[in-house]
Structure 1
Amino acid sequence: MNKIYVLDTNVLLQDPLAIFAFEENEVVIPAIVLEEVDSKKRYMDEIGRNARQVAKIMDQFREKGRLHEKVPLDNGGQLRVELNHRSFEKMKDMFDEKSNDNRIIAVALNLLLEENMKQDSKPVILVSKDALMRVKADAIGIQAEDFLSDRVITSDHIYSGYLESYVSVEVLNKFYKDQKILVKDINCQHVYPNQFVILKDELGSSASAIGRIDTECKVVIPLIREPDHVWGIKSRNVQQRMALELLLRDDFPLVTLVGKAGTGKTLLSLAAGLLLTEDLHKYKKLLVARPVVPVGKDLGYLPGEKEEKLRPWMQPIYDNLDYLFNTKKPGELDQILAGMGSIQVEALTYIRGRSIPEQFIIIDEAQNLTKHEVKTILTRVGEGSKIVLMGDPQQIDHPYLDEYNNGLTYVVEKFKAEKISGHVKLEKGERSGLAQLAADLL
């Protein structure tokens, strides 16, 4: 049975191509949605870009017919802009305020009541990224759904970058002796290039080993020898050891790190970047950037020049640099960075249009990036550069992103089968006992 999907504004602003995601069903866009999209088209961010793309798509549909009637879609569905079902009469006793959200719900309700009068009625479904919008719709009897087609993954299990395998002592001994074993020896159904393997004794002894699946997915090989320290930092758990393996190798130009607050993502990345840039001179610069997703987005409200405006947003980076450089006095870190000249801390606002060759690039808080933004960043990476994307998909400040559709998760899932990338999910907090307890309990 065909259905009628009424789209909320946030669905289109999150994914302008959402119109085409409903197969052979009818897609209804209330007129108030077009007004809300129109009010966003002058924004100079991702939402503004999406609003302009929605406008172009709708304008192209005018060539196929009158939008307030029905325009055919290539997937067999139909699209129309709803003008006639705006009456607030049926809702005035439930929701007194005529807000834009309530007007969209009113369109869905009036369409539902009209369909219920027909012999061959169609289900009417309101699609919204706004949880409270779905709750309000459900409260008055309208079926409501989240828009899930933009999700990179459909389950709660994001790729971790490693697996555990219980093997015989003979296999463990062979791994230590020959410095490799075949992938078929670890008894795993499906593996990915550069995925880590924690080998454990199947009989329960303490014998264990850590290996990495090669790029051809044929053998498991040992990790490189860990340095005595990386700018004073040593790995404290097995996932941090895996992360350092990826960060210090030249053959992985893309590394993604996921983990809760305090798991060491930023500190390990900065330490590895400083070692490879300052000590080993494998890269000309260390570039550290993070998206500016505050409460209130404009940097212009902060006083001073660009560096002064950026300082509050970049402070978490400077905190880690303070620790690595072991600074004691106020202003000492700024003097060190000015003297070195090879460390650059930037906001992602300024990355569009750049080409970045021979640099070690760290993108912090990447979970607040959209798919389009993360594509823009990765296409800036020049020859001889290495880029590290990290963040916590469960701590997202962007209004239209969640754990399953953000840019960081998108890159992890899209690149997990590629030979040039590596990924680790850090599990254990190492900042402090209090920080770990807070991350777990709160």
Structure 2
Amino acid sequence: MDSGSTLRVEKSNLKPVIKKTYVLDTNVLLHDPTAIAAFNEHRVVIPMTVLEELDHIKDRHDKTVSREARIAIQMIDKVVDAATPQEIQAGVEVPGSAMDGPLGTLAIYPDQLLTDSSEIPFLDATQDQANDNRIINVALRLQAERPSEFVCLVTKDINMRIKAKGSGLLHVEDYRRDRVLDDIDLLAKGYEHLEGDFWSGISEVDTLREGDCTLHRVPRKSLPQAYPNMFLFDDNDFMAFVKRIDSDYVYLRCDSRDNLMHRRFWGLTPRNLEQAMAMALLEDDNVDMTVMTGPAGSGKTLLALAYGLHAILEQKRYNKLIVARSTPPIAEDIGFLPGTEEEKMAPWLAAFDDNLEILHGADESCNGSIEYVKERANIQFKSLNFMRGRSFNNAYIIIDESQGLTQFQLKSVISRVGADSKIVVLGNLAQIDNKYISPLTSGLTYLVEKSKAYPHAGIMHVNGIVRSRLAAFAEENL
């Protein structure tokens, strides 16, 4: 380079951020009350119809959905509280909606003022679909007013998405912020089956002692998918448990299938390897939370209950056994039941009585044994709808049918767990009866993926229908 030459610097022209407009449906805010802060620097529009629906829902008898409606209203109020009517319609900055750069805005659209126009598609506000149509009309109007901008309707209602597209709306999406997976088949199972011989694929291994435990240390790159408290087994006799993981190594504790299969809780022995691995997680003092997924009839509830009785009555580890689940009606609402909280919960928790009968069916007086165990183990039946604000210490807690819970609901339940307690979360992602939740957006899926790296949580997918051959046929073919 000549001494007289100058260094030429080319300017790079950064493209300006293209702000998008997202019109939110009511079910998005019910599913995630914090959704208004989920769109970074973009513009969020809430039609007046959505606020009206939230207002009606917040006073419903269904405590779960009414609570989330109130939270959503409070979130909106925090943003627009000090703004003028003109600012609210134009858009108010959402605090903390982005880590860097411009903040997003929230606007309320007065859709009650919209009227039919020959130039813009307009859905008639028929009685049955009035609210959905009014929300779609807002998105259609914004799209017509801003043809060069990205305007999108966000709703979890499939039929509403179809109607909006059919009416001419170019961009319609499901709410995906709560998705932690692209495919439910990728959900962590708590174990990995390795083909062939495990040791043949390991380049180096060290052996060390920690207390009375022998650990094998292998490079992290040899097991890139490993996470704490998972099981590994191959086609031969290799069986190992991931004790812990650091940035460079995976620490394995070798075990045997025979040892796992010989565990026994309250007279119950495992009927397959997955049940045996689940029992090992339940018994592990280092695991404060065990999440068990799997099809109906795979033994999840029975295993959790058997270990609870074993830990309370034989090992004296806990003072009480708390069984809880949400209480949405599966088919028809049976009304307000008389009696105590436990008596009201009886129709939804009959499965635990069925499992107690299995554990004590051979007793001379089955009913007497069940009542005796309920009293001795201090078994308490609770509704998740009334657990907020409580704290459970020195307790063994079972959360049943968790697949229908949202991420927010499961977080609020798990945060109730106090000192010296263990929680077991059960669920079957194939049996979701909440119309706003899918297997990909279930709180159970979120919990599995977020907790698998936590060293004090264990995950196990219990497969294999042990209820009956008819139950196996129904699960696989019906």
* TM-score, length of structure 1 as denominator length: 0.87
2:193 to 154, 164, 168: 164
Provide the C-alpha distance between the structure 2 equivalents of 1:294 and 1:229, rounded to a whole number of angstroms: 35
Asked if 1 retains the 8 angstrom alpha-carbon contact of 2:274 and 2:461, the reply is yes
Alignment of 1:42-121 (within 5 A): 42-43=59-60, 45-62=63-80, 63-65=82-84, 66-74=87-95, 75=98, 76-83=103-110, 86-88=114-116, 90-92=121-123, 99-116=130-147, 121=148
Report the counterpart of residue 149 of structure 1 in structure 2.
Answer: 177
Report the counterpart of residue 228 of structure 2 in structure 1.
Answer: 193
Provide the C-alpha distance between the structure 1 equivalents of 2:223 and 2:400, rounded to a whole number of angstroms: 33
Asked if 2 retains the 8 angstrom alpha-carbon contact of 1:87 and 1:106, the reply is no
Asked if 2 retains the 8 angstrom alpha-carbon contact of 1:240 and 1:264, the reply is yes
Count of paired positions: 431
Q: Which amino acid aligns with 2:59?
A: R
What is the deviation of 1:129? Answer: 0.9
Provide the C-alpha distance between the structure 1 equivalents of 2:321 and 2:45, rounded to a whole number of angstroms: 49
Provide the C-alpha distance between the structure 1 equivalents of 2:461 and 2:280, rounded to a whole number of angstroms: 13
Alignment of 1:301-380 (within 5 A): 301-326=336-361, 331-332=367-368, 335-337=371-373, 339-380=375-416
Change (3 A) 1:21 1:349: closer
Q: Which amino acid aligns with 1:131?
A: I
1:394 to 427, 430, 433: 430
Report the counterpart of residue 209 of structure 1 in structure 2.
Answer: 238
What is the deviation of 1:185? Answer: 9.1
Provide the C-alpha distance between the structure 2 equivalents of 1:291 and 1:164, rounded to a whole number of angstroms: 34
* Other structure's SS at 2:146 match: helix
Report the counterpart of residue 383 of structure 1 in structure 2.
Answer: 419
Does 2:21 correspond to 1:4? yes
Provide the C-alpha distance between the structure 2 equivalents of 1:64 and 1:398, rounded to a whole number of angstroms: 36
What is the deviation of 1:267? Answer: 0.8
Change (3 A) 1:83 1:320: same
Asked if 1 retains the 8 angstrom alpha-carbon contact of 2:327 and 2:348, the reply is yes
* TM-score, length of structure 2 as denominator length: 0.81
Q: Which amino acid aligns with 1:46?
A: T
1:270 to 288, 291, 305: 305
* Other structure's SS at 2:34 match: helix
* Other structure's SS at 2:291 match: strand
Provide the C-alpha distance between the structure 2 equivalents of 1:7 and 1:233, rounded to a whole number of angstroms: 50
Q: Greater shift after overlay, 80-89 or 393-402?
A: 80-89
Change (3 A) 1:334 1:350: farther
Provide the C-alpha distance between the structure 2 equivalents of 1:138 and 1:123, rounded to a whole number of angstroms: 14
What is the deviation of 1:411? Answer: 2.0
Provide the C-alpha distance between the structure 2 equivalents of 1:308 and 1:106, rounded to a whole number of angstroms: 48
Asked if 1 retains the 8 angstrom alpha-carbon contact of 2:197 and 2:234, the reply is no
What is the deviation of 1:169? Answer: 7.5
Change (3 A) 1:385 1:299: farther
Aligned alpha-carbon RMSD (Å): 3.0
Report the counterpart of residue 19 of structure 1 in structure 2.
Answer: 36
Asked if 2 retains the 8 angstrom alpha-carbon contact of 1:198 and 1:209, the reply is yes
2:252 to 202, 214, 220: 220
Report the counterpart of residue 203 of structure 1 in structure 2.
Answer: none
Q: Which amino acid aligns with 1:101?
A: D
Deviation digits for residues 122-142 of structure 1, max 9, x if unmatched?
A: 132110011111111122222
What is the deviation of 1:243? Answer: 0.3
* Other structure's SS at 1:212 match: strand
Q: Which amino acid aligns with 1:292?
A: T
Q: Which amino acid aligns with 2:431?
A: Q
Report the counterpart of residue 254 of structure 1 in structure 2.
Answer: 289
What is the deviation of 1:186? Answer: 9.2
Does 2:265 correspond to 1:236? no
Provide the C-alpha distance between the structure 2 equivalents of 1:228 and 1:22, rounded to a whole number of angstroms: 50
Q: Which amino acid aligns with 2:286?
A: D
Asked if 2 retains the 8 angstrom alpha-carbon contact of 1:88 and 1:103, the reply is no
State percent identity of aligned pairs.
36
Q: Which amino acid aligns with 1:275?
A: H
Q: Which amino acid aligns with 1:34?
A: L
What is the deviation of 1:247? Answer: 0.8
Alignment of 1:32-47 (within 5 A): 32-43=49-60, 45-47=63-65
Deviation digits for residues 403-422 of structure 1, max 9, x if unmatched?
A: 22332222222211111111
Provide the C-alpha distance between the structure 2 equivalents of 1:305 and 1:4, rounded to a whole number of angstroms: 50
What is the deviation of 1:209? Answer: 2.5
Report the counterpart of residue 140 of structure 1 in structure 2.
Answer: 167
What is the deviation of 1:53? Answer: 2.4
Change (3 A) 1:88 1:297: farther
Runs of 5+ unmatched residues, structure 1? 201-206
* Other structure's SS at 2:252 match: strand
Change (3 A) 1:56 1:186: closer
Alignment of 1:420-431 (within 5 A): 420-431=456-467
Q: Which amino acid aligns with 1:4?
A: T
